[in-house]
Amino acid sequence: MKTKAFTADISHFRYLANDGTAGTGLPAFTAEPAALIPLYKAMVLTRVVDERAVAMQRTGRLGTYASALGQEAVGVGTASAMRADDVLVPGFRDQGAQVWRGVSIVEHLSYWGGSERGSDYAGPRQDLPVSIPVGTNFPHAAGAALAFKRRGEDRAAVVMAGDGATSKGDFYESMNIAGVWKLPVVFVINNNQWAISVPRAEQTAAETLAQKAIAAGIPGEQVDGNDVIAVRDRVEAALVRARAGEGPTLIEAITYRLGDHTTADDASRYREDDAVRAHWKEEPLARLRTYLAAQKVWDKAKEEKLLADCRARVDAAVEEFEALEPEPLAAVFDHTYAELPADVAAQRAAALAEAEA
Amino acid sequence: MPEVTLVEAVRMALDHAMEEDERVVILGEDVGLDGGVFRATDGLIQRYGSDRVLDTPLSEAVIAGVAVGAATQDLRPVAEIQFMGFLYPAIDQIVNHAGRLRTRTRGRLTCPMVLRAPYGGGIHAPEHHSESVEAMLTHIPGIRVVIPSSPAKAYGLLLASIRNPDPVVFLEPKRLYRTGKQQVEDDGAALPLDRAFVEREGSDLTLISWGAMMKETLAAADALAQDDVQAEVLDLATLKPLDQATILASVEKTGRAVIVHEAALTGGYGGEIAARIAEHGLLSLVAPVKRVAGYDTVMPLPKLEHHYLPSVGRIVRAARQAMEYA
């Protein structure tokens, strides 16, 4: 005899259509359209930062850089749903979320410019630095959430990674443990359709990435990752669940990587420009801008002023970044341990002596 | 003063650490009601509850990764990997995160965690249960690697490891878990994490070892003494950081060094010690440095493991060869 042991559905959430028109049932935080302006401004700032960073890399003023072009709503939507004392566990394309949470543009440039100081955030002191080894940050969110839960704190951890990361064991294993322990974690997947050159369809035979939550026994859902209202709304809902002790949620934010993987990549080797152009019609900034304009809270003058402001902010940050003196040689050693062991201290002394000779 | 085995001393240290610091949590496979497969956490879940003694899903990468995340947020996780042969998925977290966090955030976030794992052969365990790959770990910057060889050292070194503000991999010689008892006072006294122990003083040659092989090394020293060869025996205990000064002082006195470890010879930690002696103590040597180690083979299954593990006889022979140089 065969009976049905389990069934599941995966929902998809979207409020703003590609053309910026809104459906019905918008979340409460949109009631006053002007309240959306900070989200828009943060997305524009992220794009301006990315544009400048790529340009700086091209002229040798920054190291390899991963732009979030086209995916700004995922970062900004996610971070705007968080509270200041929550903890963000970001991947390497989550500057939209990081800048919202108070990582300064100077810190951001400093990190990608090759200095560890860039991860010594003056703002979100408890946020983790970006994780470069893909998906290895998932368990950190579970660990942070364990600490919050243990102390009975009303805090949650939000971890971000790309679609490629969902093929790693770390992803499933972390959802699994967070599910068993009902940890206050939100897993946000920036499904930008590409893991360097490997398209989403070759990453997994699973129809959605969200359904990978089902095996871990936690809720999973899709959201239009180019609709910042939807991203914020669903991450907020997941955080409400997390804070209520109901455990983790997986959110697959569907977007598109309009740029190269990083400045070291040349996407023309593996994808057609036409396909990329088609996705520009869905990008998140124009979508929200159109909506805000239709709501009469945004116009051309405001747009021009915003762009000028963002550029001025980035100009100032670049100037500050470029004026930073490199740390001294001793910095190579000084943070390896709380207290340098004798042999590392000897290496430090020898290196300093050699540098002075 | 209670007489305890090494594994009981581990449990005693864990108990003491949990009692003195409520940030200490234990996580791992079967560490709860089962008390760990070697009973190192026996009774702790009853005493401290299931929110501080956490049975994890079977997932070594996540055990280590959760410990990293928890450590960044002011818990003091003590994670158990059931056998060293299952440690490899956790190495990703140790190398890429635990050892780097302090450096890469310039001290903003740190990783005060301990990863415990029983290591080594000699208990007739199944395949993959008898590895001794400490040298893979000593190569990782930013962590400490500690290996006790007695109940008292297990107690004092584990307490020190848990209190240490940096990540520590704490490898327990499971062959010695229950082979002998020692009086250990549960007084919370820690041992230093950067000092080798001079276990026996001698003037003719220096035997250097750690962990499970201390037993055979000390027995070899006894055998040599019967031939009137006085061996000084060092127990390194903290492989990383290495107490180079104690090694060099001993070799300067004796002029001969024999290094004993159960891990495979090539790339084993004996090579590092021999290099340090060559760099800083070559001129006090009267004989070539010898290494007595496991072979560059796969660790055999129980029927043959006694051939693999360095024996007292092999250590004595190496020492006698060193003594042939005047």
List of residues 6+ apart from B46 with CB closer than 8 A: none
Q: Say whether both B316 and B177 belong to one domain.
A: no
A5 Ramachandran zone, left/alpha/beta (phi>0; psi -120 to 50) = alpha
Q: What integer is the mean pLDDT of B96-118?
A: 98
CB contact under 8 A, A336 and B142: yes
Overall number of domains in chain B: 2
Q: Tell me the pLDDT of chain A averaged across its residues.
A: 97
End-to-end C-alpha distance for chain A, whole angstroms: 83
Q: Evaluate if residue B1 carries a pLDDT over 90.
A: no
The residue range of the domain holding B268 is: 197-323
Has residue B116 been placed in a domain?
yes
pLDDT band, very low/low/confident/very high, at B326 (cuts 50, 70, 90) = confident
**By the 8 A CB rule, do A165 and A129 touch?**
no
Q: Say whether both B210 and B155 belong to one domain.
A: no
Q: Say whether both B67 and B43 belong to one domain.
A: yes
- Bridge-based pairing of strands A249-254 and A185-191 is parallel
Catalytic, out of B16, B97, B124, B129: B129
Catalytic, out of A261, A287, A289, A291: A261
Q: Which of B135, B150, B183 is the last residue of a domain?
A: B183
Q: Say whether both B173 and B202 belong to one domain.
A: no
**Rounded CA separation A168/A24 (Å):** 37
Q: Say whether both B271 and B175 belong to one domain.
A: no
Q: Say whether both B210 and B98 belong to one domain.
A: no
Percentage, residues of chain B above pLDDT 70:
100
DSSP three-state, residue B2:
coil
**By the 8 A CB rule, do A125 and A85 touch?**
no
pLDDT in tens, A81-120: 999 999 999 999 999 999 999 999 999 999 999 999 999 9
Q: Evaluate if residue B111 carries a pLDDT over 90.
A: yes
Q: Say whether both B297 and B160 belong to one domain.
A: no
Distances in Å between the Cα of B276 and the Cα atoms of B62, B252, B271, B272 are 36, 13, 9, 6
Q: Evaluate if residue A24 carries a pLDDT over 90.
A: no
Q: Evaluate if residue B209 carries a pLDDT over 90.
A: yes
Q: Which of B183, B215, B250 is the last residue of a domain?
A: B183
Instruction: Name the residue in chain A with its Cα closest to that of B62.
Output: A139
pLDDT band, very low/low/confident/very high, at A357 (cuts 50, 70, 90) = confident
DSSP letter at A337? S
Has residue B149 been placed in a domain?
yes
Q: Say whether both B222 and B245 belong to one domain.
A: yes
Angle among Cα A267, A272, A273 to the nearest 5 degrees reads: 85
* Mutate: best of B23, B66, B146, B166, partner A, most A CBs <10 A: B66
What contacts 24+ positions apart, CB below 8 Å, involve B287-290? B287/B205, B287/B255, B287/B256, B287/B321, B287/B322, B287/B323, B287/B324, B287/B325, B288/B322, B288/B325, B289/B257, B289/B258, B289/B259, B290/B257, B290/B258, B290/B259, B290/B318, B290/B319, B290/B321, B290/B322
Instruction: Name the residue in chain B with its Cα closest to that of A151.
Output: B23
Q: Say whether both B18 and B134 belong to one domain.
A: yes
B129 is an active site residue = yes
Instruction: Tell me the nearest-neighbour CA distance from B23 into chain A, angstroms.
Output: 9
Q: Which of B154, B183, B212 is the last residue of a domain?
A: B183
Q: Evaluate if residue A173 carries a pLDDT over 90.
A: yes
Q: What integer is the mean pLDDT of B32-44?
A: 97
B57: its two tokens: 């899903």
Has residue B192 been placed in a domain?
no
**Rounded CA separation B311/B252 (Å):** 26
**By the 8 A CB rule, do A183 and A149 touch?**
yes
- Going by C-alpha positions, the residue among A279, A16, A145 that lies closest to residue B62 is A145
Interface of A with B in 194-223 (CB under 8 A): none
Q: Is B303 exposed, middle or buried (0-12, 13-18, 19+ CB in 10 A)?
A: exposed
Q: What integer is the mean pLDDT of B52-58?
A: 98
CATH number for B162: 3.40.50.970
* Mutate: best of A103, A128, A176, A340, partner B, most B CBs <10 A: A128
pLDDT at B122: 92
Q: Say whether both B264 and B225 belong to one domain.
A: yes
Q: Evaluate if residue B158 carries a pLDDT over 90.
A: yes
Has residue B280 been placed in a domain?
yes
pLDDT at A23: 87
Count the neighbouring beta carbons within 10 Å of the beta carbon of residue A49. 24
Q: Say whether both B242 and B314 belong to one domain.
A: yes
Q: What integer is the mean pLDDT of A295-310?
A: 98
Q: Which domains does chain A have, with CATH numbers?
A: 29-326 (3.40.50.970), 327-357 (no CATH)
ipTM metric: 0.97
Kindly list the residues from chain B whose CB atom is less than 8 angstroms away from the CB atom of residue A342: 194, 241, 243-245
